[in-house]
Amino acid sequence: MPARGLLSSSPWTSGPSRRNKAAMPRYNPREVEPRWREAWARADVFRAENVSDKPKYYVMEMFPYPSGKLHVGHTRNYAMGDVVARFKRAQGFNVLHPMGWDAFGLPAENAAAERGVDPAAWTQDNIDTMRAELQRLGLSLDWSREVATCDPAYYGKQQAWFLRLWKKGLVYRKEGLVNWDPVDMTVLANEQVIDGRGWRSGAVVERRKLTQWFMRITDYADELLESLKTLDRWPDKVKLMQENWIGKSRGLRLTFPSAGDAALGFEDGITVYTTRPDTLFGASFIALSPDHPLTEILAARDGRVADFVARCRKGGVSEAEIETAEKLGFDTGLSVEHPFDRTWTLPVWIANFVLMDYGTGAIFGCPAHDQRDLDFARKYGLPVKPVVLPPDADPATFRVGAEAYVEGGRIYNSRFMDGLEVEAAKAAAIDKAEGLGLGEGATVYRLRDWGIARQRGWGCPIPVTHCAKCGVVAVPEKDLPVKLPEGMDFSRPGNALERHPTWKETRCPECGGPATRETDTLDTFVDSSWYFDRYINPQADEPIDKEAADYWLPVDQYIGGIEHAVLHLLYARFITKALRDEGMLSADEPFAGLFTQGMVTHETYRRQSGEWLEPGEVEISSEGGHRRARLRATGEAVVIGDVEKMSKSKRNVVSPADMADTYGVDAARLCVLSDSPPERDVQWTAAGVEGAWRLVQRVWAEYDAEPVIEPLDVKRELELRRATHRAIKAVTDAIEGWRFNSAIARLHEFVGVLRRFPEGGLARREALSALARLVSPFAPHLAEECWARLGEPGLCATAEWPQYDAKLAEDEERVLPVQVNGKRRGEIRAAAGASEAEVEKIVMGDPEIARRLEGLQVRKVIVVKDRIVNIVAA
């Protein structure tokens, strides 16, 4: 949003500054910034070397989808990464800071459908636009390593490793129930279904039976869980989310033998999975999933079962259905024997709340100690028998009412387990079941295999052919990449690749007979699971240049949104481990350090008709204490919606370009990093840019000022030197601690100090030399201009980070507040590091303190070195 009054007259041409001399042109970023970007490009200073004596540092931000326009959320994200990249480079690291494009996906298809453009051309245009915008931000990126996932040179290598994983058995095809998005007309992974709706379209997801491609991420479930422990530079929150997602549980897989007249398919009894084998004597029924194979057999024979299953399938995933969550059951009339007492039989039900794809798809119900089972038992009049006694309860009177008892306690009513604590009873039950040959201890994960196929035209083709004679055959590596055709028809929903008139037709690589190509493409999360490997050498013949990868991996610092905590980060970890086991790289984990930055949010605006509006089209006013919004062009009333993450779909995006046009790129970078800590969400306002702009001008004014030659005052010189070293320490520590907002605050302070020291001399020179380098990660163009003005050799971008002298960074004298009984009553001055005795002496000799202590008896004096004094007196 253009700031008031700045469009007609630009701030840097509006008049001379009055500091130190009559007329001085103000710092003009429009002229300065492009010049330094050219200088960096000419010197190629941001190119990383795959062979180097320096220690390596690999820093990257999550690559963007090329939507066509950069917004301030991107700016903030990439500015953060650039601060780290420039800081580490200055500290002597060989820094790899690459960029690329997550370029497959639906928006290109939507654009093709709406405007009849070619998705490849549309995407390429967007990439070109956004690359220019990114380059304008002055990011220290190594553009020689750029990758785009829609480039055959990239996805062809992806097909190559995909086939290797297939041959290894990590990829397989299976018929199963899938989540079908009826709007996008594609299959979604479980992770991509949120509240029963497609993560992208928001449409209610249906369940369909289809043959699908999967990756065996569950083979790695245990390692993915265990090695989370090695990720000490990941946020705990993300590790916790992944841990919950993997959902490891230990329990018992146990078979209930069928009782009496075993029905067809039912001879082997029913196998259930439980994490509560200690409650087996509280069992009251068995429940099968509506999708259980036995249910299907029963449904084939009995129409009432089929009707019941149909009822369960209807909805089931819809939001409303989940919320009401009514338990539904059907009594099959069949029964099984209790494994621990074969004379005891239990009825077999089919229940809607039993999931087929978790455990065995069948459970035993223990209503007293499981809320779902209790709800079910109450509804259908099944017995409720408690077997875990709460610590203070009386076995004679303890009853379970409306709430199941799920806490710990002592087992009773349970024969050989009586008297045991819950954990001991679980072990005893597992032993017993194993002894009987009816069960074994089992570990089960919530994590499911990853469904990777999408019925989309704009994605990486799955490189296989279907031959009537040979079945599913891999395309030979020499024939890769399997490229997308030109001229796909996106005017109708569905898979444009499938509809293409000729692309499908091919020859079987094995028998040479006629065959068809697979028309499913890979989930775009496959594309983003290895791009950090490809950056290392995007021209390599092999998908991954192993030698270079062994040097660079793992990524030292990855920066991105918390919204990828589970999906992208889990897939990328899995693919890394799979490729490692294929011998393609050596790293166990892709990202040693992870930082999840906050989102940039903005209010949303819509027309009465529901159409989204951009913030720039809307004028906000205050009428009667209420904020009102009107369409700038027509005055039409506009609905102010929620504050949400900036996204193209809701059109609540603010471009950094306007801000950069008016104030320059450096001010824009400072603005997005100021004021709020990087991990916090921020609601966008342009207010901070004025402060950033002033900082730029004030920094420049120090370099541009004519030197004031005055005799150096030794005391003032020391004071300035102390301020310099204190600033170096503070900024360094703040960057290392990811407190960029604090680092910028310290720059403001340091500039404030410099204004008070216009004299020349070495101390000022030292200060200015340090300041340029401290400013450099945040406002790199300004830093170069200052550096050049100082006459320093070379580029500031390649200068060493300033070192501080720890002695100078500490004050030699401290002001210590003095409290009496915890209330501040004065302060004293003491040498830094003064002993308790020395400080106490000064305190007691202070007349003001003495006055405060009149009539009181000092009981105790607490001296915290260099910080505070507290006198306890009565």
Partner RNA sequence: GCCCCGGUGGCGAAAUCGGUAGACGCAACGGACUUAAAAUCCGUCGGCUGCAAGGCUGUGCCGGUUCGAGUCCGGCCCGGGGCACCA
Asked if 864 is part of the footprint of RNA (rule: CB under 7 A), the reply reads: yes
Query: Which of the stretches 103-111, 320-328, 587-595, 632-640 binds RNA when contact is defined by CB under 7 A?
Result: 320-328
Closest CB to RNA among residues 151, 291 = 291
**682 near RNA, rule: CB under 7 A:** yes
Coil, strand, or helix at residue 167?
helix
Query: Nearer Cβ to RNA, position 237 or 301?
Result: 237
> Which secondary-structure segment (H or E) carries 860?
strand 858-864
Q: Which of 13, 14, 20, 835 binds RNA (CB under 7 A)?
A: 14
Name the minimum Å distance from CB 864 to RNA. Answer: 4
Q: Which range in 72-80, 535-543, 553-561, 694-702 contacts RNA by CB under 7 A?
A: 694-702
Q: Is residue 294 part of the contact set for RNA (CB under 7 A)? A: no
The only residue of 80, 363, 429, 594 in contact with RNA, by rule CB under 7 A = 363
Q: Is 233 in the site for RNA (CB under 7 A)?
A: no
Q: Which residue has the tokens 């005893």?
A: 428
Toward RNA, which CB reaches closer, 504 or 698?
698
Report how far apart, in Å, the C-alpha atoms of 496 and of each of 12, 208, 484, 597 are: 53, 20, 11, 37
Q: Residues with Cβ < 8 Å from 69, sequence gap 6 or more?
A: 129, 130, 133, 648, 653, 655
Least Å distance, CB 847 to RNA, is 13
Among 19, 56, 499, 716, binds RNA (CB under 7 A): 19
In DSSP notation, 93-147 reads -EEE---EE---SHHHHHHHHHH---HHHHHHHHHHHHHHHHHHTT----GGG-E
Task: Phi first, then psi: give them for residue 168, nearest 5 degrees.
Answer: -80, -10
Q: Of 536-575, which residues contact RNA (CB under 7 A)?
A: 562-563, 566
Q: How far is CA 482 from CA 517, 518, 667, 691, in A?
A: 9, 10, 46, 53
Q: Which is nearer to RNA, 211 or 683 (CB)?
A: 683
Residue range at the interface with RNA (CB under 7 A); choices 14-22, 28-36, 207-215, 537-545: 14-22
Letter for the amino acid at 167? K
8 Å CB contact between 460 and 155: yes
Q: Which of 138, 251, 656, 802 binds RNA (CB under 7 A)?
A: 251
118 vs 110, 111, 151, CA distance in Å?
11, 8, 15
Options 169, 583, 860, 874; binder of RNA; rule CB under 7 A: 860
868 binds RNA (CB under 7 A): yes
Q: State yes or no: residue 697 binds RNA (CB under 7 A).
A: yes
The correct pick among 81, 359, 451, 560 for binding RNA (CB under 7 A) is: 359
Q: Which of residues 92-131 bind RNA (CB under 7 A)?
A: none
Which stretch, 179-187, 302-310, 510-518, 820-828, contacts RNA (CB under 7 A)? 820-828
Part of the chain binding RNA (CB under 7 A), chosen from 28-36, 83-91, 165-173, 679-687 = 679-687
**Out of 153, 687, 762, 856, the residue judged to bind RNA by CB under 7 A:** 687
Closest approach of RNA to the CB of residue 355, in Å: 4
The CA-based angle 403-405-411, given to 5 degrees, is: 155
- Does 677 engage in binding with RNA (CB under 7 A)? yes
Give the shortest CB-440-to-RNA separation in angstroms: 15
779 lines the binding site for RNA (CB under 7 A): no
The secondary element (H helix, E strand) that includes residue 70 is none
Q: Does 293 bind RNA (CB under 7 A)?
A: no
What CA–CA distances, in Å, run from 702 to 30, 577, 717, 782?
Answer: 20, 53, 17, 12
Contacts with RNA in 433-472 (CB under 7 A)? 444, 446
402 or 815: CB nearest RNA: 815
Please state the closest distance from residue 149 (CB atom) to RNA, in A. 24
- Closer CB to RNA, residue 576 or residue 697? 697
What phi and psi, each to the nearest 5 degrees, are found at residue 274?
A: -140, 145
Question: Using CB under 7 A as the criterion, what x/- string covers residues 705-744 for binding RNA?
Answer: --------------------------------x-x-xx-x
Rg of the chain, C-alpha, whole Å: 34
From the list 511-519, 586-594, 605-613, 691-699, the region that binds RNA by CB under 7 A is: 691-699
Residue 379 engages RNA in binding (rule: CB under 7 A): no
Q: Of 807, 810, 773, which is closest to residue 792 (Cα–Cα)?
A: 773
- Closest contact distance (angstroms) between CB of 612 and RNA is 19
Could you say whether residue 858 binds RNA (CB under 7 A)?
Answer: no
| Residue 758 neighbours by CB distance under 10 Å | 15
Compare residues 583 and 625 and give the one whose CB is closer to RNA. 625
Size of the site for RNA (CB under 7 A): 84
Tell which one of 274, 332, 455, 776 touches RNA (CB under 7 A): 274
> Any contact of residue 827 with RNA (CB under 7 A)?
yes
| Residue of 817, 836, 845, 851 interacting with RNA (CB under 7 A) | 817
Binding of RNA at residue 13 (CB under 7 A)? no
Regarding 334 and contact with RNA (CB under 7 A), the answer is no
237 near RNA, judged by CB under 7 A: yes
d(CA 726, CA 736) in angstroms, rounded, equals 15
Q: How far is CA 806 from the centre of its chain?
A: 37
Other CB atoms closer than 10 Å to residue 39's CB: what's the count? 15
Please tell me whether residue 244 binds RNA under the rule CB under 7 A: yes
Which sign does the torsion angle of CA 394, 398, 403, 405 carry? Answer: positive
C-beta of 541: minimal distance to RNA in Å? 39
Contact region for RNA (CB under 7 A) — 178-186, 416-424, 469-477, 690-698? Answer: 690-698
Contacts to RNA from residues 489-508, by CB under 7 A? none
Candidate segments 37-45, 67-75, 348-356, 647-655, binder of RNA by CB under 7 A? 348-356
Angle at 11 (CA atoms; ends 10, 12), nearest 5 degrees: 95
User: Does 666 help bind RNA (rule: CB under 7 A)?
Assistant: no
Tell whether residue 15 is a contact of RNA (CB under 7 A).
yes
Choose among 802, 730, 804, 801: nearest CA to 95: 801
Q: SS3 of 855, please?
A: coil
Other CB atoms within 10 Å distance of the CB of residue 430: 21
738 three-class SS: coil
- As a whole number of Å, the end-to-end CA separation of the chain is 61
Instruction: Report the residue from 51, 823, 857, 874 that binds RNA according to the rule CB under 7 A.
Output: 823
Question: Please, what's the b/e burial string for 52-64 (b: 16 or more CB within 10 A of its CB; e: otherwise)?
Answer: eeeebbbbbbbbb
* Residue 240 found at the interface with RNA (CB under 7 A): yes
Tracing tokens 């299976």 back to the chain, one arrives at 174
Report which DSSP code applies to 151: S
Q: Does 674 interact with RNA (rule: CB under 7 A)?
A: yes
Question: Using CB under 7 A, which of 245, 412, 458, 703 touches RNA?
Answer: 245
**Quick check: 320 binds RNA (CB under 7 A)?**
no
Question: Between the CA of residue 532 and those of 65, 138, 552, what are the distances in Å?
Answer: 15, 22, 10
Give whichever of 392 and 642 is closer to RNA, judged by the CB atom.
642
Give the three-class secondary structure for 338.
strand
DSSP 71-99: -HHHHHHHHHHHHHHHHHHHTT-EEE---
Residue 850 binds RNA, judged by CB under 7 A: no
- Please identify which residue in 311, 327, 504, 607 interacts with RNA, judged by CB under 7 A: 327
3-state secondary structure of 614: coil
Q: Does 28 bind RNA (CB under 7 A)?
A: no
